[in-house]
Amino acid sequence: MIESKPKKGRIIFHIDMNSFFASVEQAHDPSLKGKPVAVAGNPKERKGIVVTCSYEARAHGVYTTMPVWEARRKCPELIVIPPDHNRYRDASDAMFSLLRTYTELVEPVSIDEGYLDVSDVEWPGNAVGLSEEMQRRILTELDLPCSIGIAPNKFLAKTASDMKKPMGITILRKRDVPSVLWPLPVIEMHGIGKSTEEKLQSLKIRTIGDLAAAPEGFLKENLGKRGLHLKRRANGIDSRPVDPESVHERKSVGGSVTLPVDETDPAELKKTLRKLSEKVALRLDRRELAGDLVTIQIRDADWVNHSRSRTLTNAIHTADAICREAELLFDRHYGGQPVRLLGVTIGRVIDRSETTEQLSIFNYEKHAKEEPVLKMIGELESKFGKGTVTKGFSGPKSGGRQG
């Protein structure tokens, strides 16, 4: 461990692995390097969906969530590989272990990205030199490329790491915000999705600079507390610490209800699950949270509590998604006993602005079912430009991004 000493101001790194799954496959099999590679679920079937792809494949117009048949049409020489999640998890663990040789202040955000607070790390040189050393070691020791954003806070570090890929290192200081961020359309700001963009557009807030200058009262009236949160981000303000324990200590949002009679009718019980899911979704919305741990509580007529949980690949926050998962747990575990109380909880909640969809071996089949929609989106984007159509989500742009 490098010895540390206090320094003025915070220095935050955001490490973002480039095209992670495909890069891991190329590291595992060096013969794939320099070739168009796609990791895809059910690669031999028509319904297969691209999980992620190498930059060589992207150069041919292949992108994440594209059906495999379409990817092969665009790039006939595309090498399609089924996902190996254990391999990716091992590579992720190795990457975070390497980062912890510099500081214990490492906060994983997903399998392929995380924050570091290096404010107190003693290094012969400046922060750029330290980031170059980290990037070099990740490449030489793990054979994996990454981009690094350097900034005084998490929001700006995340924004910076997205600016140059692959193998980029970008500094974004608070004084750079007016010249670098303010001219950009609001959809380019980390934490703003299509629905939020549409709302802001209706308020004549079109650029990040417009958002930064908007009166607080106006934003609160139209967007609630989230409006004030977005204004702070647009001004480059973010006081969140890098918290190594956040991945283990996320809070939960839930609700329960005692039924008027001991109920045994599954249809009636599911109606209650729906109402509870709607209440939980409303509470999550008020706090702009999402979570990936769904728990249902069933208390029977003998006052015995039964709790069943399911961990998801992606954090959820909508009533439909919560209800769907709650019903799956209910169908799997309900034994027909009279029910006195039902509860639904979403655990391991995080700020929705930190939520990105990790398209992986656990959810590619869900995307495969959406193939007709994805095909339509692909056609529209081909005609009008990438990003023209996005899935509704008041958070970061979705689509299983893997830098």
Residues tagged active-site = 113
| 276: Cβ contacts below 8 Å, ≥ 6 apart | 255, 256, 257, 326, 342, 343, 344
- Cα angle, residue 360 at apex, residues 36 and 40 outer, rounded to 5°: 35
Interstrand relation of 146-151 and 169-171 (parallel, antiparallel or unpaired)? parallel
In eight-state DSSP terms, residue 207 is: B
Distance CA 6, CA 23 (A): 36
| 317: Cβ contacts below 8 Å, ≥ 6 apart | 281, 284, 285, 289, 290, 291, 346, 352
The amino acid occupying position 218 is F
In eight-state DSSP terms, residue 318 is: S
| 270: Cβ contacts below 8 Å, ≥ 6 apart | 327, 330
Name residue 318's beta-bridge partners.
none
| 337: Cβ contacts below 8 Å, ≥ 6 apart | 264, 300, 301
Residue 282, token pair as written in the block:
């409303």
Q: What are phi and psi of 148, to 5 degrees?
A: -130, 130
Q: How many residues does the chain have?
A: 403
Q: Is 112 annotated as a binding-site member? A: yes
Contact 315, 355 (CB under 8 A): yes
Residue 81, token pair as written in the block:
């590989």
Question: What SS3 state is found at 269?
Answer: helix
Distance CA 226, CA 92 (A): 32
Name residue 299's beta-bridge partners.
305, 341
Name residue 296's beta-bridge partners.
308, 344
- Binding site as annotated, residues for Mg(2+): 16, 112
